[in-house]
Amino acid sequence: MSHRMNLKQLRYFVAVAQELHFGRAAKRLHISQPALSFDIKKFEQQLGVTLLERTNKRVTLTQAGALLLTEAEHLLAHAADAEQLVRRSSRRLTGRLRVGFVNSMLFRGLPEAVARFGHEHADIDIVLKELNTEEQIAALAGQRIDLGCAHGIRHGDDISSHALLSESFVCCLPGGHPRAGTGPIDLASLADEPFILFPRAVSPHYHDRIVALCVEAGFSPDIRHEVRLWQTVVTMVEKGMGIALVPAPLKHAERGDACFRELRQCGHVGNSTAAAQRHY
């Protein structure tokens, strides 16, 4: 092959060789037919061979043209791959992504999402910081985290958010509880039970929503114990220290000494999880 061969000439030739029609090839290349005919003729002169046989009725490939077509298609494919690789490399993200999360996100796919992100963006280090919702808002405002996963986010104009999911509550009961059998239970039937719940200062969204559900069922919950983590809630229920309303995904962590039951009145009354990030 002549050293004067270039990708433009190969693209023009491949278009004509594949279409076997100068008019269609010119339209495909967005150039005029006379210009394409001139460039192909000049290309043949540079190579010193005839690539295309032309008649008034049709265009056909010569043996040299057929050979060049195969090689040119491979060369153009490699060139396209190289261009895409270079463009992708220039856009490659590097650095560190600091993500705040509430504890219950461990049961909502956060570990799997982190693993998937790490596989797709190997040059970015993800740093997870466990914070409650209010702490995440403050951390976003103070630029101590870049992204947060929290509940019922209320924030200023400098932070944007969108809903990730909405899910129902279930009741977490000790394994030996009289209502620990199968099937949904009435929340009102738990009016005399001691409840285990987050302090409002830790999670206003959960605290207010759970209290509201109890009030809607006709009673004010007896909040006997206050804790900060869902695992602590479940552990205390296992020990028979009370009952709790928890997000439905936690039932996948069910252990022998605790059970999870649907609530008949609020099977579709959910809590929301949102992702938020600060505007920079």
Tell me the C-alpha distance between 87 and 255, whole Å: 50
Indicate yes or no: pTM above 0.85. Answer: no
DSSP string spanning 171-231? EEEETT-TT-SSS-B-GGGGTTSEEEE--TTT-HHHHHHHHHHHHHTT---EEEEE-S-HH
Equal fold, 95-162 vs 166-271: yes
Q: Letter for the amino acid at 228?
A: R
What residue spans define the domains of the chain? 7-91, 95-162, 166-271
CATH for 7-91 is 1.10.10.10
How is residue 263 annotated by DSSP? B
Which pLDDT band, with edges at 50, 70 and 90, does 205 fall under? Answer: confident
**Cβ neighbours around 20 below 10 Å, total:** 13
What burial class does residue 74 get, using C-beta atoms within 10 Å of its C-beta: 0-12 exposed, 13-18 middle, 19+ buried? exposed
**CA-CA distance, 249 to 232, in Å (whole number)?**
16
Pair 224, 190: CB distance under 8 Å: no
Q: What class, spelled out in words, does domain 166-271 have in CATH? A: alpha beta
| Fold annotation for 95-162 | D-Maltodextrin-Binding Protein; domain 2 (3.40.190)
Average pLDDT over residues 236-248: 91
pLDDT surpassing 50 at residue 2: no
Structure confidence by residue, pLDDT tens digits, 70-108: 999 988 988 887 777 676 665 655 678 899 988 778 877
